[in-house]
């Protein structure tokens, strides 16, 4: 299996990163660690090189204060980098005043568009974070020729249809144990689902509080039961999907 969205670079794993990664590799779980700013993008590449994993580089919408220097990110590109992200739009904590709110959204959009253009230029898929911003993310992507995943999908069936029409994959993680997404999951074609943990966040129930990629199987079982297919069928399909989208993984 491939955890298509993890943050093992985070400090929560400083004490036992090596141990967790070796447990994952023993269980044949590969991992894409996803950068959320410039420093963490450097870190995920370092980890990918050290443990033979994969990396994605980008600037998360909640971290845009540092600004996105496209050339600096471009210098990081190497054979371990399989995607651009985590990028996208997050309107969850928007300012209350209308003028401030517009400014806040506009800033996020500008930095998102820069990363979309970078992904186009490098022919890399995008790993997109989208929180209460589905229309704006869709409107930016619809005029660009990109491929990618809407990670940790929490949208409606209508949102789902729009992103499927763009050829996008849909990232599913432990948030399905916290929100009722059954209807949406039933409507995602098997060849468009990607599994992820978003660890250390979104731990499934009865799994340790700090999530890690070993919980991927718990998520896979739940998705298989919702989609009424076997676990083997689900894992086979989602592995194929990950290799298809992140085609630099060899
Ligand atoms: Zn993430």
Cα 26 to averaged position of ligand 1 atoms, centre (Å): 24
Domains defined along the chain, listed by start: 2-245 (3.20.20.140)
Structure tokens given for 57? 């580089």
Per-residue pLDDT of the chain (250 residues; tens, 9 = 90+): 999 999 999 999 999 999 999 999 999 999 999 999 999 999 999 999 999 999 999 999 999 999 999 999 999 999 999 999 999 999 998 888 888 889 999 999 999 999 999 999 999 999 999 999 999 999 999 999 999 999 999 999 999 999 999 999 999 999 999 999 999 999 999 999 999 999 999 999 989 999 999 999 999 999 999 999 999 999 999 999 999 999 999 7
Cα 4 to averaged position of ligand 1 atoms, centre (Å): 10
CB atoms within 10 A of CB 33: 29
Cα 198 to averaged position of ligand 1 atoms, centre (Å): 5
HEC sequence for 37-74: CHHHHHHHHHHHHHHCCEEEECCCHHHHHHCCCHHHHH
Give the predicted TM-score (pTM) of the model. 0.97
Cα 92 to averaged position of ligand 1 atoms, centre (Å): 15
């Amino acid at each position: 299996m491939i955890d298509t969205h993890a943050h093992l670079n985070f400090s929560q794993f400083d004490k036992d990163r090596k141990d967790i990664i070796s447990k994952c590799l023993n269980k044949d779980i590969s991992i894409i660690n996803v950068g959320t700013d410039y420093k963490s993008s450097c870190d995920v590449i370092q980890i990918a090189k050290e443990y033979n994993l994969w990396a994605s580089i980008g600037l998360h919408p909640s971290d845009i204060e540092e600004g996105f220097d496209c050339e600096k990110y471009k210098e990081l590109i190497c054979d371990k980098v399989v995607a651009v992200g985590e990028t996208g739009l997050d309107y969850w904590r928007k300012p209350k005043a209308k003028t401030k709110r517009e400014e806040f959204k506009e800033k996020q959009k500008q930095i998102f568009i820069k990363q979309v253009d970078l992904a186009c230029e490098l022919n890399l898929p995008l790993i997109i974070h989208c929180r209460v911003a589905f229309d704006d993310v869709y409107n930016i992507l619809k005029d660009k020729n990109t491929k990618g995943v809407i990670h940790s999908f929490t949208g409606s069936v209508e949102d789902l249809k729009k992103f499927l029409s763009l050829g996008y994959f849909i990232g599913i993680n432990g948030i399905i144990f916290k929100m009722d997404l059954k209807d949406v999951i039933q409507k995602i074609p098997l060849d468009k689902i990607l599994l992820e943990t978003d660890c250390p966040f979104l731990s499934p129930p009865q799994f340790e509080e700090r999530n890690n990629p070993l919980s991927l199987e718990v998520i896979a079982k739940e998705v298989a039961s919702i989609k009424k297919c076997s676990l083997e069928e689900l894992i086979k399909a989602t592995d194929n999907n990950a290799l298809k989208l992140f085609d630099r993984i060899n």
